[in-house]
Chains A and B, each alone.
Chain A
Amino acid sequence: MYILIILLPLISSLVILLLGRNFGVRGSNHFSLLCLGIANLLSCFSYYETVILKSSIHINLFNWIPLNLFDASINFHVDSISGGMILIVNMVSFLVHLYSTSYMEGDPHSCRFMGYLSLFTFFMLVLVSSQNYVQLFIGWEGVGLCSYLLINYWFGRLQANKAAIKAMLVNRVGDAALIAGVMLIWYNYGTVNFHSIFPSNQNFASTLIPIFLLIGAVGKSAQFGLHTWLPDAMEGPTPVSALIHAATMVTAGVYLIIRSSSLFEASSIALIVTGLIGAITALFAATIGLAQNDIKKIIAYSTCSQLGFMVLACGISYYSVGLFHLINHAFFKALLFLGAGSVIHAMVDEQDIRKMGSTVLSLPLSSVFILIGSLALAGTPFMTGYYSKDLLLELSTKQYYLIIVCWLGLIATLLTAFYSFKLINRTFMLYQNSPKNWWTVAHEGKFNLLFPLFVLSMGSIFFGYFFKDPILGSVIHPNLSVLVKLTPLLLSGLGVLAGLFIFLITKNLWNLFFSFNIIKPYDFLVTAWGFDKIISTFLVSPLWKFGYKTSLKLFDLGIVETIGPFGLSKRVVLLTQNLSKLQPGYLFNYAIIMILFASIFILIN
């Protein structure tokens, strides 16, 4: 029966993609909802069994590559780590399917959309339910492929095509590192099974392997350096962003680190690098989030920042806290994305928050849902984010060799609250800035658009409190002074106030503000620290030039063609043409040649 969890999304996607035109839009919507709903229900049972009762499910399906030690069998293996992942993947995916039936209404290809969403869910389930790195890699590449198909869903748009190719290629950098890591694991430990790898001695490979796995996670989880695909992936429809950024794709990198915890523990260098990359990403993405004006991009950078927190938690060896934050984050980030989608839907596909405002009057439910999501994100006490993020920051204060991680995380917390509430303030509260006819027609969506938001907001409020014990297990809360314990909360409160009041300051203060030449740091932030510019100047365009000038012009069309077929045939033709000039048609020339060669023949013989 548990095998249905993984099979139902596959059945749903195959049936809809192959027969969707026979079912029609309504039929395929209902079919996929039925499949995903059952899978969701079953995954709740498996969550109860695996996480709360601490058992594990292992169903061996078939042996894929039967080399004697290289045991790459395809199986359905759920333990306490993947149980939570399967729950959030199926739950968020089901809610996103339900949401899409309303959000994508009237889209001519929405059967294809549903099929891709189900396929995405299937590959993510393959990823999290594997017991070895090879099956994990199938899911890893599968979600990359499905993200390409989904970002590129409106394939007529050039920007969507470019963003999808970028997502695919930037992910591929990390995938190459993951392949290298898996090969090194097999070479060093003789197996690719998660449960058989126990690094016993310290050597060079035991540092190299986690570094490679970390690069793979950096690509997939959009950490500092390979994050550039994530904001561009906003070109897809909003439910896709919710699925990619909340529950599924970006969490795969963190899941890989959590799965490979025994490998990461073998090397202190890898742990320090992991912690630093996580902390830098958290701060970096939070600063960029301040200056963005696209409602989806703000939430995308916030995802990037929260993933940085998860990697940070793994870097300081608290993997269960990372996993807990991962699961909590899925709830409130899906809520934020779907809420943003609701606003965008109501505002006639306008994504710029500068052209919104005052929508709390026309969209009261959406604004409440986004408020709940933002409060959970900012770590308000007793909401979901509080139980993971504040615990994570408290734990990081005890890392004396990596205390900078704590500082970066605290600043990121401040900025997170700041940009979340800047978004709320600008979208819902301030003066109305959109054309009047949009504002008057703006209204809440239907039931199937609001119900997922309701479920996710319940998850954002209650999930952390009810499920902190089974997931966290025996994490000992550090003994800290009250002030230090309250620091993240105070910083969040400060950020909230700053976010709420930034647009309420008076004209004199604005003048003072602009006299500081604020435009340069703002430019720096709004262009995401100039990362795209740097990469395209120093990496992409030199590589393109090298590819055109050296590989193509000089080598393929130059040296190889000249030595190879083209030059050779030309040479032979030229030679025969020269030889045939020996026969000019004059008899006396023939006679001379004949006599000459006859006399040479006589002389030599």
Chain B
Amino acid sequence: MRIKSFIITSLILFILGILGVSLNRTNLILLLMSVELMLLAASFLFIIASSFFDILFGQIFTIIVLTVAAAESAIGLAIIVTYFRIRGKISIKLLNTLKG
């Protein structure tokens, strides 16, 4: 297995996450999951790089990113739950009260 296929896989994952964020128009949870996917793809890249170049920092970073992702998803879900309590819906289309 070459490193190229690993990187391409993680990039595809990252792009899928981006597309999930930008094209998703319905569900707020889906958005949060796409962000998680992006973070995972990034940490995957870190791991690939650390094992390929034989440097430990990438794996340390991955663990930190995992904690950050966990915290982020916890806070994000908390916000969504609070939002749901107020509005009763979590559709992204209805999140347009702040206009430029």
* Residues in A neighbouring B31, C-beta threshold 8 A: 587
Contact of A588 among B92, B97, B100 (CB under 8 A): B92
Contact in complex: A580, B100 (CB < 8 Å): yes
Contact mask for chain B residues 79-97; partner A; CB cutoff 8 A; 1 contact, 0 none: 0000000000000110111
Q: Which residue of A lies closest to B19 (CB)?
A: A595
* B-contact 0/1 string along A564-596, CB 8 Å cutoff: 000000000000000011111111100110010
Q: Which of A582, A584, A586, A591 contacts B21 (CB 8 A)?
A: A591
**How many angstroms between the C-alpha atoms of A582 and B100 in the bound complex?**
7
Q: Are B100 and A581 in contact (CB under 8 A)?
A: yes
Interchain CB contact under 8 A, B100 and A583: yes
Q: How far is the CB of A576 from chain B (nearest CB, A)?
A: 10
Give the nearest-CB partner of A582 in chain B: B100
Q: Is the CB of B18 within 8 A of A595?
A: yes
Q: How far is the CB of B56 from chain A (nearest CB, A)?
A: 27
Give chain A residues whose Cβ lies under 8 Å from the Cβ of B18.
Answer: 595
Minimum Cβ distance to chain A for residue B53 (Å): 22
Task: Assess whether A591 is in contact with B100, with CB atoms less than 8 Å apart.
Answer: no
Q: With A595-B18, A595-B22 known to touch, is A587 a contact of B92 (CB < 8 Å)? A: yes
The verdict on B98 contacting chain A, using a C-beta distance below 8 Å, is yes
B93 surroundings in chain A (CB, below 8 A): 586
Hey, which chain B residues are within 8 Å of A588, CB to CB? 21-25, 92
B4 within 8 A of A: no
B96 touches A586 (CB 8 A): yes
Nearest A residue to B93 via CB reads A586
Chain B nearest CB: distance from A579 CB in Å?
8
Contact residues, B17-69 vs A (CB, 8 A): 18, 21-25, 31
- Name the B residues within 8 Å of A591 (CB-CB): 21-22
Tally inter-chain residue pairs, CB-CB below 8 A. 34
| Complex contact B24–A583 (CB within 8 A) | no
| Contact status B92-A585, CB under 8 Å | no
Q: Are B96 and A585 in contact (CB under 8 A)?
A: yes
**In angstroms, how far is the closest chain A Cβ from the Cβ of B27?**
12
Query: Which residues of the other chain, A, contact B25 by a CB distance below 8 angstroms?
Result: 586, 588
The residues of B that contact A585 with a CB separation of less than 8 Å are 95-100
Are B22 and A584 in contact (CB-based, < 8 A)?
A: no
CA distance A588 to B21 in the complex (A): 7
Shortest distance between the CB of A377 and any CB in chain B (Å)? 87
Interface residues in B, total, Cβ within 8 A: 15
| Chain B positions within 8 Å of A584 at CB level | 96, 99-100
Residue of A nearest to B26 (CB): A588
What is the CB-to-nearest-CB distance from B62 to chain A, in angstroms, rounded to a whole number?
Answer: 22
Taking the nearest CB of chain B, how far is it from the CB of A315, in angstroms? 81
Give Cα distance in the complex from A585 to B24, angstroms.
Answer: 15
Residues of B within 8 A of A583 (CB): 99-100
The minimal Cβ–Cβ distance linking A92 to chain B, given in whole angstroms, is 81
**Complex Cα spacing A591 to B19, Å:** 10
| A586/B95 in contact, CB under 8 A | yes
Cβ contacts under 8 Å, A587 to chain B? 31, 92, 95
Residues of A contacting B97 in the complex (Cβ-Cβ under 8 angstroms): 585
Which residues from A are CB-within-8-Å of B98?
A: 585
Tell me which residues across on chain A come within 8 A of B99, comparing CB atoms.
Answer: 583-585
The reply to whether A592 and B96 form a contact with Cβ atoms under 8 Å apart is: no
Q: How far is the CB of B71 from chain A (nearest CB, A)?
A: 21
- Taking CB atoms, residues of chain B closer than 8 Å to A580 are 100
CB distance from B96 to the nearest CB of A (A): 3
Alpha-carbon separation in the docked complex, A62 to B23 (Å): 91
Contact of A592 among B22, B92, B95, B100 (CB under 8 A): B22
Nearest A-chain residue to B92, judged by Cβ: A587
Expressed in whole angstroms, the Cα–Cα distance for A581 and B99 within the complex equals 8
Which residues does chain A contribute within 8 Å of B21, judged by CB atoms?
588, 591, 595
Shortest beta-carbon distance, A43 to chain B, in Å?
A: 84
Residue from A581, A587, A592 whose CB has the most chain B CB atoms within 10 Å: A587
Shortest distance between the CB of B40 and any CB in chain A (Å): 18
A586 touches B22 (CB 8 A): no
Docked complex Cα distance between A46 and B95 (Å): 100
Could you tell me the distance between the alpha carbons of A461 and B24 in the complex, rounded to whole angstroms? 115
Closest-CB distance, A316 to chain B (whole angstroms): 86
Minimum CB–CB distance for B34 against chain A, Å: 10
CB nearest to B23 among chain A residues: A588
Residues of B within 8 A of A581 (CB): 100
Shortest CB–CB separation between residue B51 and chain A, in angstroms? Answer: 25
| CB neighbours of A582 from chain B (8 A) | 100
Report the minimal beta-carbon distance from A600 to chain B, rounded to whole angstroms: 14
Residues of A within 8 A of B92 (CB): 586-588
Chain B residue nearest to A596 (CB atoms) is B22
CA of A591 to CA of B24, assembled, Å: 10
Q: How far is the CB of A594 from chain B (nearest CB, A)?
A: 9
Interfacial chain B residues near A592, Cβ < 8 Å: 22
A595 to B22, CA, bound (A): 9
Say how far A592's CB is from chain B's closest CB, in angstroms.
5
- List 27 A-B pairs, Cβ < 8 Å: A580-B100, A581-B100, A582-B100, A583-B99, A583-B100, A584-B96, A584-B100, A585-B95, A585-B97, A585-B98, A585-B99, A586-B25, A586-B92, A586-B93, A586-B95, A586-B96, A587-B31, A587-B95, A588-B21, A588-B22, A588-B23, A588-B24, A588-B25, A588-B92, A592-B22, A595-B18, A595-B22
List 4 extra interface pairs beyond A588-B25, A591-B21, CB under 8 A.
A580-B100, A586-B93, A588-B21, A595-B18
